[in-house]
Amino acid sequence: MLAALLAASAGPARSQQVELIQNVSARAGQSLNGPWQFLIDPYDAGYVDFHLNPLKDGGLGAGREPGGIGDKFELGFLPAAPTLQVPGDWNTQLPELLWYEGILWYRREFTYSAQPGHRQFLWFGAANYRAIVFLNGEKLGEHEGGFTPFQFEATGKLKPGRNVVVVRVDDSRHPDAIPPTMTDWFNYGGLTRDVRLVDVPETFVEDYFVQLEKGSQRRVSGWVRLNGPRARGKVTVRIPEAGATVEAETDANGLAHFSFDATLSLWSPDNPKLYEVVVEAGTDRVADRIGFRTISVSGSKILLNGKPLFLRGVAIHGEAPFRSGRVYSEADARTLLDWAKDLGCNYVRLAHYPHDEVMTRLADRMGLLVWSEVPVYWAVQWENQAAYAKAERMLTEMITRDKNRGSIALWSVANETPLGDARTKFLAGLAAKVRELDSTRLVTAATLPHTSGNTTTIDDPLGQYLDVLGLNEYIGWYDGGPDKIDAMSYATPYDKPLIMSEFGAETPFASHGDENTPWTEEYQANVYRRQVAMFNRVPFLSGTSAWILMDFRCPRRFLSGIQDYYNRKGLLSDRGQKKQAFYVLRDYYLEKAGK
Ligand code: GCB
């Protein structure tokens, strides 16, 4: 047994943490997936009265089967109320909901058998965008943010037998939201990810962080936090396969730091080795599967386990292949990540928001490094403190959920944001928050190009706060024709690695013409051929993520017969058909991989 060492560094103070149960899928309880009744409520009449005063009893939140006369009769779900599948966006489940943005109420009954001495939490993988949750007519809480998990304690509020949960989900877009009103993706609404009732002992392992210490290939270090009346006590962390066990004592906040040496086979795309890690405290025990590796930079190189690695990547939206709608299943994730592997990738950029946990867990298993980002996208209200607080909370929820995934190499704080002091201050704040929560990953952001003639200079002041520079460049599409790519050069005052975080061109599958005719596969392939030749001329380039793996639904893409409300920059169509550019990029990646 290895000695426990209490790390000297300050731990995550309770106020800095978002309280989320780590690794919920390993927990007891019950799934609340399946059919939920729903009511569409464009006027919010289920929540406020005719003079816009809040309805005293929570309105539809009471979850009643209506009885009586007049408006009391109207405020409820009759057994005939239709159902939607959860998880799942509402837009792709019923034709009349495709373009619906606004309020929709969900209701579901479930049976609960009492677990004396245990605690229960209602946990949501994500609800886009605002959710108000009621249990048995009582409001449990609210959450804002469409792509991260949240939970409310239900202990003492559950009844033996039949229970009713109601959720008011509102996906209307607002300028002070994250993301704000204009995005280049579809605003899929609803309970888009798993819903569970999680059951844990009264004092339980709420959260843990188990990774290699920054700069070390053998020192595992992290913390465990307990929640409950006996949160002051002993915790044990074990990696049985490595023969490593450590014990530590929690402080008054239930927090214990630990640190120990272990001989580990390091995780990498070629060796996606995961170890079972067991965390125990009192009567609670939770097991996870974790990969151990280091990720760092040296000048303009990205180093994985101390060795330079070129990130061969593609950007992916959380959009389901074949059926469209949001990704929520391992089958969806498997199809997307298999395509990325087939393309020769060792890295994926999960754009533009935290994806379902099935993606990051599968990336761990398949050996794909991940760029994970928050939807701080385009025109955020940079001067608005409330908008900052939302962004910081989402970032915290993203890191809280995925900090044990060895695949995660980069946390990104923003995409294509406009230059300005308020914006740089906002994003510097987020970068500092990443470092406070997780010093073991690299901080990045996708920035916009500043091009004069044929030279792009990557000098965004945000660069000083990043470990890795991201640049979205569309030479050959939004900027000049394919010929322009041949003449481009790149410069930067920063001695940092660069990832071309986006590049590409748009075409429907099977649209043909010559290589200079836009909206054809030949044109897209031409852009890719010239782009990859150009990449070889950028000495500080350490990775690329093509935009994008698969065509995705997008309300800003109007061209009838070409786009039909899809962004068609995919290397595959939304039906999984590979375009010519797929093979161009694959050849480049195979060559880069030395295959
Ligand atoms: C970008 C954005 C991405 C868009 C893409 C496009 O630069 O970051 O969200 O979808 O361009 O297709 O224009």
Residues 443 and 579 in one domain: yes
CATH code of the domain covering residue 217:
2.60.40.10
Is 14 a member of any domain?
no
Is residue 8, in this structure, part of any structural domain at all? no
Assigned domain for 24 exists? no
Does residue 567's CB lie within 6 angstroms of at least one atom of ligand 1? yes
Of the candidates 293, 319, 354, which is a domain's last residue? 293
- How many angstroms separate the alpha carbon of residue 260 from the centre of ligand 1? 44
User: Residue 554 C-alpha to ligand 1 middle, in angstroms?
Assistant: 11
**Same domain? 136 vs 267:** no
Q: Are residues 211 and 97 in the same domain?
A: no
- Cα gap 326→564, rounded to integer Å: 18
Distances (CA, A) of 188 to 195, 355, 553: 17, 13, 10
The answer to whether 500 touches 543, Cβ cutoff 8 Å, is: yes
Would you say residue 213 lies in a domain?
Answer: yes
Do 164 and 247 share a domain, yes or no?
A: no
Which residues, including other chains, have CB under 8 Å from residue 32's CB and lie 6 or more apart? 86, 108, 110, 122, 165, 195, 196, 197
- Output the CA 76–ligand 1 centroid distance in Å: 42
Gap from CA of 173 to ligand 1 centroid (Å): 19
Atom of ligand 1 nearest to the CA of 448: 7
Measured in angstroms, how far is the CA atom of residue 332 from the centroid of ligand 1? 22
> What atom in ligand 1 is closest to the CA of residue 472?
7
Statement to judge: residues 480 and 510 lie in one domain: yes
The domain that contains 50 carries what CATH number? Answer: 2.60.120.260
Probe residue for ligand 1, chosen from 373, 412, 547 as the CB with the greatest number of ligand atoms within 8 Å:
547
Q: How far is the CA of 562 from the centre of ligand 1 (A)?
A: 17
How many angstroms does the Cα of residue 184 sit away from the middle of ligand 1?
Answer: 6
- What is the 3-state secondary structure of 380-406? CCCCCHHHHHHHHHHHHHHHHHHCCCC
Last residue of a domain, one of 168, 200, 232: 200
Q: Which ligand 1 atom minimizes the distance to the CA of 567? A: 12
Under 8 Å between Cβ of 355 and 401: no
Report the alpha-carbon distance of residue 242 to residue 277 in Å, rounded.
10
- Whether 184 is in the pocket of ligand 1, judged by its Cβ within 6 Å, is yes
Q: 505 CA distance to ligand 1 centroid (A)?
A: 10
Determine the atom of ligand 1 nearest the C-alpha atom of 554.
Answer: 10
Cα 442 to averaged position of ligand 1 atoms, centre (Å)? 23
**Which of 244, 271, 293 finishes a domain?**
293
Residue with CA nearest ligand 1 atom 4: 184
Q: Do residues 189 and 100 lie in contact, with contact meaning Cβ atoms separated by under 8 Å? A: yes
What pLDDT, on a 0 to 100 scale, did the predictor assign at position 56?
A: 83
Each of the 595 residues of the chain gets a pLDDT tens digit; together they read 333 333 333 445 554 556 899 999 999 999 999 999 999 999 999 999 999 999 988 999 998 888 777 767 788 999 999 999 999 999 999 999 999 999 999 999 999 998 899 999 999 999 999 999 999 999 999 999 999 999 999 999 999 999 999 999 999 999 999 999 999 999 999 999 999 999 999 999 999 999 999 999 999 999 999 999 999 999 999 999 999 999 999 999 999 999 999 999 999 999 999 999 999 999 999 999 999 999 999 999 999 999 999 999 999 999 999 999 999 999 999 999 999 999 999 999 999 999 999 999 999 999 999 999 999 999 999 999 999 999 999 999 999 999 999 999 999 999 999 999 999 999 999 999 999 999 999 999 999 999 999 999 999 999 999 999 999 999 999 999 999 999 999 999 999 999 999 999 999 999 999 999 999 999 999 999 999 999 999 999 999 999 999 999 999 999 999 999 999 999 999 999 999 999 999 999 999 999 8
Nearest protein Cα to ligand 1, atom 7: 472
The reply to whether 480 and 411 lie within a common domain is: yes
Q: Is 342 among the domain residues? A: yes
- Give the position, in ligand 1's atom list, of the atom nearest the Cα of 351: 9
CA-183 nearest atom, ligand 1: 9
The verdict on the CB of residue 417 being under 6 Å from ligand 1 is no
Contact 64, 76 (CB under 8 A): yes
- State how far the Cα of 154 lies from the Cα of 163, in Å rounded to an integer: 11
Is 522 in the same domain as 578?
Answer: yes
Residue 196's domain comprises 32-200
Domain count, the chain: 3
| Residue 27 resides in a domain | no
Ligand 1 center from residue 181 Cα (angstroms): 15
Say which residues have a Cβ less than 8 Å from residue 581's Cβ, sequence separation at least 6: 504, 505, 521, 524, 525, 527, 528, 571
* Placement of tokens 């590979």 in the chain: 578
**CA 300, CA 25: separation in Å to the nearest integer?**
39
Task: Tell me, yes or no, whether 85 lies in a domain.
Answer: yes
Residue minimizing CA distance to atom 9 of ligand 1 = 184
pTM: predicted TM-score of the whole model, two decimal places:
0.97
Question: Per the structure block, which two tokens stand in for 342?
Answer: 């087939």
Coil vs helix vs strand at 217: coil
Closest atom of ligand 1 relative to the 569 alpha carbon: 12
Taking the centre of ligand 1 as the mean of its atom positions, its distance from the CA of residue 571, in whole angstroms, is 14
Is the shortest distance between the CB of 373 and ligand 1 below 6 Å? no
- Are 421 and 555 within one domain? yes
122/267 same-domain check:
no
Are 187 and 207 in a shared domain? no
CATH number at residue 569: 3.20.20.80
CB of 551 closer than 6 A to ligand 1?
no
Question: Are 323 and 450 found together in one domain?
Answer: yes
Q: Is 547 in the pocket of ligand 1 (CB under 6 A)?
A: yes
325 Cα to the center of ligand 1, angstroms: 19
The pLDDT score that the predictor gives to residue 17 is 57
148 lines ligand 1 (CB under 6 A): no
Question: Does 151 map to a domain?
Answer: yes
Q: Are residues 196 and 208 in the same domain?
A: no
